[in-house]
Structure 1
Amino acid sequence: MIGTSLPLFISGAEIAFILFIVLMVFGADKVPEIARGLGKGMRQIKDATNDIKSEITKSAEKHGVDVDITKDVRKEIDKVKEDINDVAGSVKRDL
Structure 2
Amino acid sequence: MILILNDVSGTEILLILIFVLIFFGSKSIPSLARTMGRAIRQIKDASNDIQNEIKKSGAEMKKDLNLEGIIKETAEDIKSPLDQMAQDIDRSVKYEPSKPSPIKEEIKEKSSTKVSKDDTKD
| TM-score over 0.5 (shorter chain) | yes
Kindly tell me the number of residue pairs found equivalent between the two proteins.
59
Instruction: Work out which of the residue numbers 12, 15, 37 in structure 1 matches 2:35.
Output: 37
Q: Based on CA coordinates, which of the two structures has the bigger radius of gyration?
A: 2
Q: 1:6-65 CA deviation, whole Å, 9 max, x = no partner?
A: 422x22122112101211111111011111111111111100111111111111111117
Higher share in helix: 2
Which ranges of structure 2 fall in alignment gaps of 5 or more residues? 64-122
Instruction: Work out which of the residue numbers 56, 59, 62 in structure 1 matches 2:60.
Output: 62
Larger relative contact order, structure 1 or 2 (CA cutoff 8 Å, min sep 6): 1
CA distance in 2, matches of 1:60, 1:22: 44
Q: Which one-letter code corresponds to 1:7 in the other structure?
A: N
User: Normalising by the residue count of structure 2, what TM-score does the alignment of the two structures yield?
Assistant: 0.45
Q: Which one-letter code corresponds to 1:57 in the other structure?
A: K
Kindly, what percent of the aligned residue pairs are identical? Answer: 47
Counterpart mapping for 1:81-92 below 5 A = none
Q: Which one-letter code corresponds to 2:31 in the other structure?
A: E
Instruction: Work out which of the residue numbers 17, 20, 23 in structure 1 matches 2:21.
Output: 23
Which ranges of structure 1 fall in alignment gaps of 5 or more residues? 1-5, 66-95
CA distance in 1, matches of 2:14, 2:60: 50
CA distance in 2, matches of 1:16, 1:48: 30
CA distance in 2, matches of 1:17, 1:26: 14
Q: Tell me how large the CA RMSD over aligned residues is.
A: 1.4
CA distance in 2, matches of 1:38, 1:57: 29
CA distance in 2, matches of 1:14, 1:63: 47
